[in-house]
Amino acid sequence: MTIGIVASVVGEAYYKFVFPWSVRIAGLNRRPDVVTIAHDGIPEIYRSAVDEILTVQWIKSDMPWKIHPQINVNAAIAETDTTWIAKVDIDDLLFCHALDGVDSSLCDVMNYGYRIGDQDYPSIVYPAEYIKQKVHNPIGSCSPFRRWLWEENPFEDMLYDDWCFWIKAARLGADFDATHRVDYIYSVHPEQMTNRIDHAQALAEIQAL
Q: 35: domain CATH number?
A: 3.90.550.10
CA-CA distance, 29 to 25, in Å (whole number)? Answer: 9
Q: Are 80 and 4 in contact (CB under 8 A)?
A: yes
In this prediction, residue 197 carries a pLDDT of 65
Range of the domain at 152: 3-207
Domain count of the chain?
1
* Model pTM above 0.85: yes
For 63-204, where are the E strands, in sequence order? Answer: 84-87, 93-94, 109-116, 119-121, 145-146, 176-185
**Helices then strands (H, E): number in the chain?**
8, 9
C-alpha 85: how far from chain center: 8
Q: pLDDT 10s digit of each residue in the chain, 209 long?
A: 999 999 999 989 999 999 999 999 999 999 999 999 999 999 999 999 999 999 999 999 988 877 777 889 999 999 999 999 999 999 999 999 999 999 999 999 999 999 999 999 999 999 999 999 999 999 999 999 999 999 999 999 988 999 999 999 999 999 999 999 999 999 886 666 665 667 688 788 889 88
Q: What angle do CA 194, 15, 52 make, to 5 degrees?
A: 140
